[in-house]
Structure 1
Amino acid sequence: MKFFPIPVALLELGKPLPVDVWSASGKLLLKKGQSVDTEEDREKLRAHNASSTLADALAWQRSYERTVRMLLREGADVQEIARLYMPTDIPEIDRVVDAEVKGGWLDMQEVLRGILYQCGLAINPIPRLVGIEKKVFDLLQADVDESLFCLFQALADDTLGYCATHALLCAVVCNLTANKLGLDPEQSHVLLRTALTMNIGMARDQDRLARQSTAPSESQREIIRDHSEKSVEILRGFGIDDENQLDIVRWHHTAQSNEGLPQTLSSRRILAMTDGFVAKMAARKTRSPMLPVTAVRSMIVGAQGDAIGVGSAMAQAVGFYPPGTYVQLVNGETAVAVQRGARANTPWVVSIVGKDGIPLEKYVCKDTSNPAFAIEKPLSFEKVRVMVSLEKVRKARAAIPR
C-alpha cells in the first residue's frame, strides 16, 4: 500500500482524526477517531513521517478545500482562513476519488487555491497540478475568449480570493503570448505550469495584501522579497526537479537578470510582464485597479529590448479591452467585452446598461469597429453594478459571424 504524508502542522490538538495515521513504513500510529493532544505528540508524528492512504489523503484535501470555499463565500477574513486546521470530519461526497479536474474556471480556481494555501503541506500536489494544467489547455482549446471573459470577471470579485485567480489568468496570458511569439510548445507548457505556482510561497499573504487597507508592513515586504526562493523550495519539496521551471520561478521578478539558465530568459520576461499586467488590473483597498487599456499600453510605451516584442504580443493576444472588462460606447450604453475583434481596440461587446441607466435584459453582440457602437472610454469594474450572465453571453456570442 502506498502512503502520503499528512500536514501534521495543520492538525488541531485534542480533536479526533478523520483518518487512520500510518508511519511511512506502514505501521499504524493512530486510529481514526483518536487525537493528537500535545506538541510532543505532534513531534512524534513528524519523526515517524506520519502518513495516510491515497484515498484518505484526497478525501481529506477535498474537505479542506470545501471549508475554505465556504468561509470565502461567507466573507471570512483571510487571516481567519490562514489559521484553518484540517477538518475533523470528511463528508462521504469527498470520499469519491477522481483525479480529473471537472467543471469550469471557477471550479479549477477553488482546487488551485487549496493547493496554494497549503503550500508545502499540500497533499498529493503533483497529480492535482497536472490535472489543472490539462484542464487549462482543454478550456483554452474549447474557447479562448470565454476563458478570458471568465477570468477577468473573476479578477474583479474579491470574494473568490486573489491568489488563484491571479495564477490562472497569468497562466492563460502567458500561454497566449508565448504562442504569438512562436515559442516551442514545450517552452510554452513550462511557462504555463510556472505561472500556476510562482507565488505559492506567499499565497495566503497575497490574498491578505489584496484586502488590507494599509500599505505592506516591513515584514510583509520581506515576504514579498523572499517569496520566489521560498516557492522554489516548496516546489522542490513536491518533487519537481525541472531546472527550467524552477529557474523561471526563482527569477520571475528579476526578468532582466542574466543569472540562471540562459534558455529561460525569454520565459522570465513573459512571466514578469504578465505578472505585473494582471496585478495592475486587480483592485486593492489602497488603490483603484488600472484600466485594461492603460495596463496594456504601459507594457509597450517606453519598453526597450525584448520587452517591446513581448508587450506587443501580449497586447495582440488579449486586446486593449479584454473579454470580461467594461467599456462605455459612444451611444451612451455600458457594455462588457465578450470577444476579441479584428484589431486589438475593436472587441465585440454586449450592452448591459442602457444610456438611461437601466439594465438591459436582452444581450446582443455589437462590433465596436462599427462607428455607431465605437468605444468612447474604458470603465473600471467598480463603476458597474450589474451582474453579467455568462449563459446569456454565450447565447449572444453564438450570433457573431465566424
Structure 2
Amino acid sequence: MRRYAAMDYDTYEDLQGLWADLEAALALVLTHPAQVGNFEAKVLQLDAWLQELLAHDRDAGLYLMYQLASSSHTGYSAAHALVCATLSHILADTYHLPPQERDALVRAALTMNIGMTQLQDQLALQRERPSAAQQEAIRMHPVEGRRLLERMQITNGLWLDVVTLHHINIPPQLPLLQQQAAERLARLLATVDRYAAMISPRRSRAGRSVAESVHVITGPSSQLYQKAGDALLHSVGMYPPGVFIALNDETTAVVLRRTQQPHQPQIAKLLDARKLPFAQPQILLLTQEPQLRITHSLSSSEVRPFLDTQSLLHLGALMTNSTPTFQQITQTPGQA
C-alpha cells in the first residue's frame, strides 16, 4: 500500500482552477453568444485549451472531468458540454479520425445545445417533468442551435451538420465507419451525449453510476449508434479516473489511474467498511492486490457526503503529485 507524505496542493489547485476557468469561459460563450466578439475564434480557443489540458496527462484530465460532472456549480449546460467535448476528443483519437472530423466533432460537442442553454440549465434544476412547451423546445434545439451558430458566422458545414443531427434516431444503413462523415460523427456525439447525461446529477435525480451509464450506451438500444458505446468504454475504461467504486472488503475508493487491466486500476481508498474516512487516502494498484476486486461503481451522491473538503483536496493532490508536467502550466492554455 502506497502513501504520500507530502502533497503538492498548489499544483492540484492550479490544475483544478484551469478546468474551472475553462468551464466558466464556455458557460459565458453558450449563455451570451451574441456578446462574444469573434465567436468562432473563441470556440477554437476553448478547444485548444481543452486539448492542452488533456495532452499533459489524460488520466488526470479524466479524473477532473468526472469530478466536475458530478459537482459542478457553473450550470448544467456548460458542464455537460465540457464533459462531452472531453469524451469526444478521446473518442476521436480511438477512431483515428482525420483532423477536420475531430475538430468538427469536438466543436459540435461544445456547441450542440447552444439553442437551449438556459432551458437546459433550468431543466437540470426543476423536479417536475418538462412541460409541453419545454418538450417542443428540446425537440427543436438542434435546428435552433444550427441557426444560432450560423448567425454567429460559423460556416463549417460539417460542424453545423453534426449539431443538427446530434439527436439522430434513424437506424444506420451502413457500418459506422462507412457512413457519411456527418452521420458518423453525429452517432459518436449522440453516444457521448447520452453517457454524459447519465453520469451528471440533476435536481430531479442524482447522477447515475458509471455502470448504469455504460449499460445504456452498450445495451440493446445502442445498436442505433453502431458500437460507438463499446469504443467509448474502451477509450475511458470501465472504471475511469475520478469514478467512485465499492470494493469486496466493503471499503469505498476512487479510481486514480487506468492500467492495462481494465478491471484493476490504481485506486485511492477513501472510506472504511463503516463509511468513515481513512486518516489519509490509501493508494493501491489492484494488479498487486489479488484479494481485492471492484464490485460496482457508485454515484457521487453516495460518497461525497462522507468526505470533507480537506479529504477532497488531499485526493486531488494525490492525483497530480505524479504529474510534474502540470507544474509547467503558467498561462491560460490556448493563448500561447
TM-score (structure 1 length as normaliser): 0.69
User: How much does 1:195 deviate?
Assistant: 0.4
User: How much does 1:394 deviate?
Assistant: 1.9
Indicate if the aligned counterparts of 1:328 and 1:375 stay in contact, CA closer than 8 A. Answer: yes
Between Structure 1 and Structure 2, the one with more helix by share is 2
User: How much does 1:297 deviate?
Assistant: 2.8
Seen in structure 2, the aligned counterparts of structure 1 residues 138 and 200 have a Cα distance that, compared at 3 Å, is same
User: How much does 1:339 deviate?
Assistant: 1.4
Whole-angstrom CA distance in 2 between matches of 1:347 and 1:338: 7
Match of 2:269 among 332, 341, 351: 351
Corresponding residue for 2:10? none
Match of 1:392 among 304, 310, 318: 318
Whole-angstrom CA distance in 1 between matches of 2:99 and 2:114: 24
Q: How many residues align?
A: 296
User: How much does 1:332 deviate?
Assistant: 2.2
5+ unaligned residues in a row in structure 2: which ranges?
A: 1-15, 174-178, 325-336
Corresponding residue for 2:290? 371
Letter in 2 for 1:307: Y
User: How much does 1:321 deviate?
Assistant: 1.7
Larger displacement relative to structure 2 (299-308 or 226-235) = 299-308
Question: Cα deviations across residues 141-186 of structure 1 (Å, max 9, x unaligned)?
Answer: 1111111111111111142311111111111111211221222232
Letter in 2 for 1:380: S
Corresponding residue for 1:281? 199
Letter in 2 for 1:393: M
Q: 2:152 aligned with 1:235, yes or no?
A: no
Larger displacement relative to structure 2 (108-117 or 300-309) = 300-309
User: How much does 1:256 deviate?
Assistant: 3.3
Q: 2:24 aligned with 1:104, yes or no?
A: no
TM-score (structure 2 length as normaliser): 0.81
User: How much does 1:130 deviate?
Assistant: 1.5
Whole-angstrom CA distance in 2 between matches of 1:240 and 1:257: 29
SS in 1 for 2:73: helix
How do 1:125-136 residues align onto structure 2 when only pairs under 5 Å count? 125-136=39-50
Seen in structure 2, the aligned counterparts of structure 1 residues 155 and 345 have a Cα distance that, compared at 3 Å, is same
Seen in structure 2, the aligned counterparts of structure 1 residues 258 and 119 have a Cα distance that, compared at 3 Å, is farther
Letter in 2 for 1:391: A
Question: Cα deviations across residues 188-245 of structure 1 (Å, max 9, x unaligned)?
Answer: 1211111000111111111111111111111111111111111111111111101111
Letter in 1 for 2:182: T
Q: 2:53 aligned with 1:139, yes or no?
A: yes
Whole-angstrom CA distance in 1 between matches of 2:232 and 2:219: 13
SS in 1 for 2:50: helix
Whole-angstrom CA distance in 2 between matches of 1:291 and 1:270: 21
Question: Cα deviations across residues 300-321 of structure 1 (Å, max 9, x unaligned)?
Answer: 2225657343111100111122
Whole-angstrom CA distance in 1 between matches of 2:56 and 2:279: 27
5+ unaligned residues in a row in structure 1: which ranges?
A: 1-101
Q: 2:90 aligned with 1:171, yes or no?
A: no
Indicate if the aligned counterparts of 1:353 and 1:360 stay in contact, CA closer than 8 A. Answer: yes
Indicate if the aligned counterparts of 2:199 and 2:210 stay in contact, CA closer than 8 A. Answer: yes
Match of 2:36 among 102, 117, 122: 122
Runs of 4+ in 1 over 6 A off after TM superposition: none
Larger radius of gyration: 1
Q: 2:257 aligned with 1:339, yes or no?
A: yes
User: How much does 1:358 deviate?
Assistant: 2.4
Q: 2:247 aligned with 1:329, yes or no?
A: yes
Corresponding residue for 1:193? 107
Question: Cα deviations across residues 125-149 of structure 1 (Å, max 9, x unaligned)?
Answer: 2222111111111111111111111
Question: Cα deviations across residues 368-393 of structure 1 (Å, max 9, x unaligned)?
Answer: 34333311221111111214221233
Indicate if the aligned counterparts of 1:352 and 1:363 stay in contact, CA closer than 8 A. Answer: yes
Seen in structure 2, the aligned counterparts of structure 1 residues 255 and 365 have a Cα distance that, compared at 3 Å, is farther
Corresponding residue for 1:383? 302
Q: 2:66 aligned with 1:152, yes or no?
A: yes
Letter in 2 for 1:331: D
Letter in 2 for 1:301: G
Match of 2:229 among 311, 321, 325: 311
Seen in structure 2, the aligned counterparts of structure 1 residues 178 and 306 have a Cα distance that, compared at 3 Å, is farther
Whole-angstrom CA distance in 2 between matches of 1:333 and 1:397: 27
Seen in structure 2, the aligned counterparts of structure 1 residues 395 and 188 have a Cα distance that, compared at 3 Å, is same
Q: 2:270 aligned with 1:270, yes or no?
A: no
SS in 1 for 2:269: strand
Whole-angstrom CA distance in 2 between matches of 1:316 and 1:228: 28
Whole-angstrom CA distance in 1 between matches of 2:322 and 2:282: 6
Question: Cα deviations across residues 95-146 of structure 1 (Å, max 9, x unaligned)?
Answer: xxxxxxx952111000000111113443332222111111111111111111
Letter in 2 for 1:171: A
Corresponding residue for 1:360? 278
Indicate if the aligned counterparts of 1:333 and 1:354 stay in contact, CA closer than 8 A. Answer: yes
User: How much does 1:246 deviate?
Assistant: 0.3
Indicate if the aligned counterparts of 2:244 and 2:298 stay in contact, CA closer than 8 A. Answer: yes
Indicate if the aligned counterparts of 1:156 and 1:282 stay in contact, CA closer than 8 A. Answer: yes
Indicate if the aligned counterparts of 1:255 and 1:272 stay in contact, CA closer than 8 A. Answer: no
Whole-angstrom CA distance in 2 between matches of 1:241 and 1:376: 48
Letter in 2 for 1:264: A
Whole-angstrom CA distance in 1 between matches of 2:227 and 2:277: 40
